[in-house]
Every structure is written in structure tokens, then in C-alpha cells.
């Protein structure tokens, strides 16, 4: 089975008052096509660092990340930016929509940055908004939308360039239980229907039934269950 996201021997260290602090220690992860993996762990365990490295936003101190078979090792800042536009879709804690753009404009901007022609982009935006139940909100500004609507719009934006990999950082943290479940259900369905690899950092145990695997980050390593203390 094809792995669309691969992290090999990822190490990340920071200097803390002259002392080197290892956040991630030879961490490895392979996420298959159509698989949604949840990553849990205590505060300060390195989940944000892990997700930033998986998303080519932060370079590891050692190891490599491959997105759809393409290594990030040795790439320039511009090449990494292009790779993120082509291969990655991000969903954050808050929707992070641009306040002065309407919903459809948010999606069209992402497509333009990714080099998609306007006609094809408009067709894809319309399809995504319809699929996510936002067709009637295409001309709405973020401030006029509910929290659930904004998060669905953020998912549509993340899917606009048909990325190989989806990365979600606490996507339900600002939502009530019903809207949170809806958001993760959408992420899971899109992952399976379009053979993407998806990783979701979460504290919300209610959404775990939608995930194919649940991993725990502690002591710089990912494991299938919390490490004994």
C-alpha cells in the first residue's frame, strides 16, 4: 500500500539556556493512502513541532520527510513553499480565514497561488462548497458565519488544490460536540474517498472512532499506547 506521508528518523532539538533539549527523537511514521491517524499526547510533548515538520514548515535536526514520495531534504524555502501548495492541506484550531474575503474568494486565492486556471478553480470551488454544505454561503464573509461553517470553509480551502496529505491541528477545539464530530467526519470521508493520507493532532477523544489509528507522542516517540511511567 502506498504511503503518502513518511517521516523517517525525525529528530528535533532546541537549545534551552545553553542545554540541548531533544523534542523528537528518531521519530518514524508512515501514513497510508486513505488513512486518518490521530496523534495525542500531553502538553509540551512536541505535537506542534511534529506537525510543523510533517507539514514542511519546520526543518528537522535530522531525518527526512517524504510527501507523496517527494523528499523535503535539501529543498530551498521557495521549493518548500511550492511543495506545500501542491501536496499539503492544513486545517488549524481556528479556521484562520482571511476576514476581508468571501468564502468562494478564499478558495479561489488558494487555487491561484497553486497555479490552477480560473475556470477549473471555479468548478472545483463550487463542487467543494456544495459537498460541504456551504453553497449558500459562498458569498459570506467569515464574521457572518458560525464556527462550524468557518471550519468547513477551512476544510474546503485545504482541499482546494487536491493535496496528497491533510494535516489538522486540534480542528475541533473551538467547536461544540456536534459540530466537532461533523468536522472530523468530513475529514475522514475526504481522506478515504480521495485516497489521501491525513494526520490530526487532537485532545478530543470523542472523534477517535473516525480515525484508523490512534498514536501517542511522549518522550519524543510515537507509540500505539501511552508509555508507562
> What is the tens place of the pLDDT at every residue in 98-123?
999 999 999 999 999 988 889 999 99
Domain contains 228: no
Q: Is 98 part of a structural domain of the chain? A: yes
17 falls within a domain: yes
Residues in the chain with pLDDT values less than 70: 225-229
Beta bridge partners of 14: 21
Q: Give the chain's mean pLDDT.
A: 91
Confirm if 91 and 184 have CB atoms less than 8 A apart: no
Look at residue 136 and tell me if it is in a domain.
yes
66 domain residue, yes or no: yes
C-alpha span between 163 and 171 (Å, rounded): 18
The answer as to whether 92 is a domain residue is yes
In terms of DSSP bridges, do strands 35-40 and 88-91 run parallel, antiparallel, or are they unpaired?
A: unpaired
pLDDT digits (tens, 9 = 90+) for 216-226: 999 999 998 65
Q: How high is the pLDDT of residue 225?
A: 61
> Which H helix or E strand runs over 40?
strand 35-40
Residue 229 belongs to some domain of the structure: no
How many structural domains does the chain have? 1
**Which of 51, 4, 1, 57 lies closest to 23 in space, CA to CA?**
51
pLDDT at site 183 = 87
Q: What is the pLDDT of residue 228?
A: 43
**Range(s) of the domain holding residue 108:** 3-223
Q: Which residues pair with 213 in a beta bridge?
A: 37
Q: Structure pTM?
A: 0.90
| pLDDT at residue 35, rounded to an integer | 96
Instruction: Identify the CATH number of the domain in which residue 49 sits.
Output: 3.40.50.300
Amino acid at each position: 500500500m502506498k504511503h503518502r506521508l513518511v517521516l523517517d528518523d525525525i529528530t528535533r532539538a532546541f537549545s534551552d539556556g545553553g542545554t540541548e533539549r531533544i523534542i523528537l527523537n528518531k521519530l518514524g511514521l508512515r501514513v497510508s493512502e486513505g488513512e486518518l491517524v490521530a496523534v495525542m499526547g500531553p502538553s509540551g510533548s512536541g505535537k506542534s513541532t511534529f506537525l510543523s515538520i510533517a507539514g514542511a514548515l519546520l526543518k528537522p535536526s535530522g531525518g527526512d520527510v517524504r510527501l507523496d514520495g517527494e523528499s523535503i531534504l535539501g529543498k530551498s524555502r521557495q521549493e518548500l513553499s511550492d511543495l506545500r501548495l501542491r501536496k499539503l492541506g492544513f486545517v488549524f484550531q481556528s479556521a484562520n480565514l482571511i476576514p476581508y474575503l468571501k468564502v468562494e474568494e478564499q478558495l479561489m486565492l488558494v487555487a491561484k497561488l497553486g497555479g490552477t486556471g480560473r475556470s477549473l478553480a471555479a468548478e472545483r470551488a463550487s463542487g467543494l462548497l456544495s459537498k460541504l454544505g456551504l453553497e449558500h454561503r459562498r458569498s459570506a464573509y467569515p464574521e457572518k458565519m458560525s464556527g462550524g461553517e468557518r471550519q468547513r470553509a477551512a476544510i474546503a480551502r485545504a482541499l482546494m488544490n487536491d493535496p496528497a496529505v491533510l494535516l489538522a491541528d486540534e480542528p475541533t477545539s473551538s467547536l461544540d460536540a456536534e459540530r466537532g464530530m461533523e468536522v472530523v467526519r468530513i475529514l475522514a470521508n475526504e481522506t478515504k474517498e480521495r485516497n489521501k493520507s491525513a494526520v490530526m493532532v487532537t485532545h478530543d477523544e470523542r472523534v477517535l472512532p473516525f480515525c484508523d489509528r490512534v498514536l501517542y507522542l511522549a518522550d519524543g516517540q510515537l507509540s500505539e499506547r501511552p508509555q508507562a511511567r
